[in-house]
Amino acid sequence: MRVVLLSGGTGGAKLAHGFQQVLPAGALDVIVNVGDDLELFGLHVSPDLDSVLYTLAGLVDPVRGWGVAGDTDRALTMLERYGEETWFWIGDADLGTLVRRTAQLHRGASLTQVTADMAAALGIPSHILPPTDDRLRTRVLTDDGDLEFQRYFVERGQRDEVRGISFEGAAEARPTAAVLEALRNAELVVIGPSNPIVSIEPTLATPGLREAVATASGRKIGVSPIVAGRALKGPTDRMLASLGHEVSALGVARLYSGLLDQYVLDEADADLAPGVAGLGMQPLVAQTVMKTDADRAALARFLIDAASG
Q: Which residues form the interface with a second copy (CB under 8 A)?
A: 41-43, 68, 71-72, 74-79, 81-84, 91-97, 99-100, 102-103, 106-107, 117-118, 121-122
CA–CA dist 61, 70 (Å, integer): 7
Nearer to a second copy, 97 or 248 (CB): 97
- Encode 262-281: b = buried (16+ Cβ within 10 Å), e = exposed: bbbbbebbeebbebbeebeb
Nearer to a second copy, 88 or 180 (CB): 88
Least gap, CB of 150 to a second copy (angstroms): 17
CA distances from 28 to 5, 188, 244, 263, 304 (A): 8, 10, 34, 20, 12
Least gap, CB of 180 to a second copy (angstroms): 27
At 184, which helix (H) or strand (E)? helix 177-185
Least gap, CB of 251 to a second copy (angstroms): 40
Nearer to a second copy, 92 or 168 (CB): 92
At 265, which helix (H) or strand (E)? strand 262-266
Report the amino acid identity of residue 115: T
Report the amino acid identity of residue 302: F
Least gap, CB of 45 to a second copy (angstroms): 12
Nearer to a second copy, 117 or 295 (CB): 117
CA–CA dist 65, 152 (Å, integer): 19
Kind of pairing between the strands at 219-223 and 282-286 = unpaired
Q: Phi, psi at residue 271, to the nearest 5°?
A: -70, -10
Nearer to a second copy, 82 or 215 (CB): 82
Nearer to a second copy, 71 or 269 (CB): 71
Nearer to a second copy, 36 or 50 (CB): 50
Report the amino acid identity of residue 230: R
Least gap, CB of 68 to a second copy (angstroms): 8
Least gap, CB of 44 to a second copy (angstroms): 11
Among the listed residues 34, 26, 46, 33, the one whose alpha carbon sits nearest the alpha carbon of residue 6: 33
Nearer to a second copy, 76 or 191 (CB): 76
CA–CA dist 187, 254 (Å, integer): 23
Least gap, CB of 151 to a second copy (angstroms): 18
Least gap, CB of 122 to a second copy (angstroms): 7
Kind of pairing between the strands at 262-266 and 219-223 = parallel
Find out whether 134 and 170 touch, Cβ atoms under 8 Å: no
Report the amino acid identity of residue 105: L
